[in-house]
Amino acid sequence: MEILPFRPRVRISRKRQTTSLENCKYLTLDWNNGCRNSFFRNNLDAHNRARSIAMKFLVKAVRHIQYSIPLPMRYGKQFRNMYYFLKGSQWWSKEKLEEYQMRQLKKLLNHAYQNVPYYQRVFDERGLKPEDIQDFDDFRRLPILTKDIVRENLNDLVAKNIPKRNMNYVTTGGTSGKPLGFYIEKRTDFIRMAFEWREWNWMGYEFGNKCVVLRGNVVKRKEDGKSAWWEYDRENNYLILSVYDMTDKNLPKYIQKIEEFKPKIIQAYPSALDIMARFIKGNNLTINVKENIKAISTSSENLFPYQRLLIEEVFNCPIIDKLGNCEQTNIVGQCAKGEGYHIFMEYGITELIDEEGNPVCREGGIGEIVGTGFTNYAVPLIRYKTEDFGVYTNNQCSCGRNGLPILKEVKGRWYQQRIVTRNGNYIPITALNTHSDIFDNVKQFQYYQDNLDKVILRIVKKNTYTSTDTRKILRELTGKLKSQIKLEIQFLADMPRTDRGKYNFLVQKLQIDHHNGSILC
C-alpha cells in the first residue's frame, strides 16, 4: 500500500506552552493520523472503483430486466388502453365511428370553452355554446384555425387547467420557414404511438421485431470522439442509420449493416431510401434480406410514384406510407392493400376543404386537410389548416375496414428538397426540421444553396433575438451536418418570396435531377 507523504506538525497550545514530552505525544498522534488518512484515502479510492463497477453491473442488470418486459407494458397504461381499443375499433362501421367522434368532439369543445381563453372568445363572439354543436354541420360554424392565429394567440390557446409540468413545448419549422411553437400533453406521445403500432401491425410488424430506422435521428458520436453513422437502440430493437452520411463510400457499409441485422421492417424518409435504392441498382448490387423485410414504412415527405416503383423493386416488399403532423391533429395512412390512405377516425376529425372553405366531395377533387385532434388538451387545435392536401374518393378499401374511409392520395408539405455536400452526398431537407426551441426568436428562416461548399441559413430576427440564439442554431445544425458542408448564417430584413408570393423552405440553385440523383450542369 502506498503511503502518502507526511509532513509532521507540532501543535502549540495558545493557552500554555507544552513540554517536550507533550510535543512528542502530538508528533506521534499526527504521524498515526497521517498513516490512517493515507490508508483511508487509498481504501476510499478502491471503494469508489468497486462502487462504480457495481453500479455499471446494476444498470446493465436493470436494463436487462427492463428489456425483457413486453413493449406494451413498458409503454404504459395510456398506450395499452388505446392500442387494444384500436385493435377492435378498426372494424367498426362508419356510423359507429362517427358516433365515437361526436362524443370525443363534445368533450373537447366543453374543455376548450371552459379552460381555453381563445375558444371562450370564439364561442362568445358567435353567440354559441358547446352544446349548440350537435352534428358535423354545426361543427363547421366554428372558424378555421391557421398557423398565424396560433402564433399570435399561443398564450390564450394554452389550457389553464393543465399544469405546465404535464406539457412539452415543441416547435415545427414548416416548409414556409416560419417557426411554430406550441404545447402538447406528455401523454399524447404514447397515444400517437398506439396508432402507429396499429398501422405497423397492418404490415405484419409485431412487438419486438427488428426494425431499421433511416430518418432524421442524429447518431451519437463514439466514445473516442469519432463520427458514427449507426447505433443500436436495444429498448426498441432498432438499428438507427444516419441520413447525414449516405455517401457513395459509406453506402456499401449501410447495406452490409442492414443485411447483418435482418430487419422485419424499415422506417425511412422516401428521399433517403431513394438514394440507397438508386445506389444499389446503379452498381448492380443486391440486398440479401429481401425475404426478411415484410414492408417499408415511409412518412414525413411526399412519396413520388417513381420512387415507390424503384424502392419496392430493389427491396422486394411493399411501401406503406403515412401522413401525420407534429401538431397532433390528424393521421392518415395506408394498409397492406395500398388502395388509399385510411383516415384514422379515432385520432380526430379530418376535413377536406377547397379555397372557399367548402367541403370537397367530388371524386378526384383536391382539398386542404383540416384537422381537429382529440389527443392534445394542452393546446386544442380545432379546425386547424395543416397545409397538407388530399385527393377525395368515395371508394372503399378492399381490406374490410369500411369505417375508416380513405383519401385517394395525399400531398404533403415536404417536397424532398435536398442539400448537396461537397463530396456529392445528399441530405434531405426534412432531416434539418427541428422540434427544439432554437428558432423561438426567429420570425422566419430559409436555407439557400448555390454551391457545394456551403449552405446559407437566412434568418429574419425577432426583437428578442440575441447572439445566444446564433450559437444555439449553429450548435444544433452543425451537429447534424457534421463537417460535410459549411453552414453560414445571413440576416435579412424580409424573406424573399416566389413569383406567386410563397416562401420556399429551401432555395436550391444547384440543378438536381431528382429522378437519377445527379447534379445537372
CATH of domain 418-520: 3.30.300.30
> What is the rounded CA–CA span in Å between residue 412 and residue 52?
50
Write down the residue that cell numbers 435504392 correspond to. Answer: 277
In terms of Cα–Cα distance, which of 259, 262, 267 is closest to 200? 267
Q: Which three cell numbers stand for residue 229?
A: 453513422
The pLDDT value recorded for residue 504 is 65
Write down the residue that cell numbers 391557421 correspond to. Answer: 146
Considering only the top CATH level, what class is 77-179+326-410? alpha beta
Taking 70 as the pLDDT cut, the residues of the chain under it are 1-44, 47, 57, 59-64, 173-178, 221-227, 290, 412-417, 430, 433-435, 497-504, 511-521
Summarised one tens digit per residue, pLDDT across range 174-226 is 555 567 889 999 999 999 999 999 999 999 999 999 999 998 787 876 655 56
The pLDDT value recorded for residue 413 is 59
- Strand intervals (E) in 176-329: 180-185, 211-214, 230-233, 238-241, 265-268, 295-298, 319-323
Measuring CA to CA, how many Å separate 261 from each of 236, 241, 317? 14, 12, 17
> What is the rounded CA–CA span in Å between residue 257 and residue 241?
9
The pLDDT value recorded for residue 416 is 45
Q: Which three cell numbers stand for residue 130?
A: 358547446
The pLDDT value recorded for residue 508 is 84
Q: Note the helical H segments in 6-157.
A: 20-68, 71-75, 77-89, 94-115, 117-125, 136-139, 147-152, 154-157
The pLDDT value recorded for residue 14 is 45
Query: pTM for the whole thing?
Result: 0.72
In terms of Cα–Cα distance, which of 330, 287, 333, 331 is closest to 312? 287
The pLDDT value recorded for residue 125 is 96
- List, as one string, the DSSP characters of 357-414: S-B--STT-EEEEEEEESS--SS---SEEEEEEEEE-----TTS-TTS-EEEEEE-S-
The pLDDT value recorded for residue 37 is 58
Fold of 204-317: Rossmann fold (3.40.50)
The pLDDT value recorded for residue 17 is 47
